[in-house]
Structure 1
């Protein structure tokens, strides 16, 4: 995409932020598995971890998403950009679906409003990290600069 910066000066910081987001998802998931051990997989109870509603199913999904983000961050080479962008869209869609089903029996991940907000923020952070973490050659950077300056 012509509007996505290439070799942004702050890309190491964005990459670190992406790694911290993945680490948060893993820690939240591990704490959720510990807290919800012994409950049903998709239990709809008052289990809370870091103020967020969770159950064993959502905790395992969080661990999986966090590991994928951390693996992408470790690999780099624009693989992290694609992973962060796609997972950002997935996380935001899950967040909005969770908001739609919060007070119904379809709330299989035991979401509450805090969970929806945290997931939406995590998705937006991953999207930002994906947008500014792209690495390219000097020619690609120059092409991006020229495209950016043309109005």
Structure 2
């Protein structure tokens, strides 16, 4: 997209923020797996990890997503921006869907209100890191600056 900045001066900061978000997700996932070891995969047992509701299924999903974000951050080369954007949109959808099913039997990831809020915040942070972390050629930079001036 021509409206997203290319070679933003704060790109290393956004990349670090994306990496820290991946580290948080991986840590949350590992702690959730430890806390829920021996429980059912999609148990609705109101187990709290770091103040958030989590069962074994959501903990494994968080750990895998966190590792994926960390790998993307380590690789760089705009792979991190694609991963951060896709997973950011995914976390936003997950947070909204969890709000819809929170007090029903369909809450198979055992989300609480705090988990839904954190999911939305993680989605926004990953989107921000993905939108501002892109690197490109001089032609892409000129196209972005021209698009910005037209607005």
What TM-score, normalized by structure 2, do the two folds share? 0.98
Cα deviation for residue 113 of structure 1 reads: 0.1
Counterpart secondary structure, 1:104:
coil
Mark the runs of 5 or more structure 1 residues left unpaired by the alignment.
none
In the alignment, which residue of structure 1 is the partner of 2:2?
A: 2
Distance 1:143 1:107 in 2: 45
CA distance in 2, matches of 1:30, 1:59: 7
Say whether residues 1:43 and 2:39 are aligned partners. no
Residues 131-146 of structure 1: pairs in structure 2 closer than 5 A: 131-146=131-146
Runs of 4+ in structure 1 over 3 Å off? none
For 1:91-116, what per-residue CA distance to the aligned partner results, in whole angstroms no more than 9, with x for missing partners? 11111111111111110010000000
* Number of residue pairs the alignment of both structures matches: 151
RMSD (Å), alpha carbons: 0.8
- Give the Cα separation in 1 of the matches to 2:147 and 2:38: 56
Q: Which residue of 2 is the match for residue 87 of structure 1?
A: 87
TM-aligned CA deviation for residue 20 of structure 1:
0.3
1:47-126 mapped onto 2 (5 Å cutoff): 47-126=47-126
Gaps of 5+ in 2: none
| TM-score, length-scaled by structure 1 | 0.98
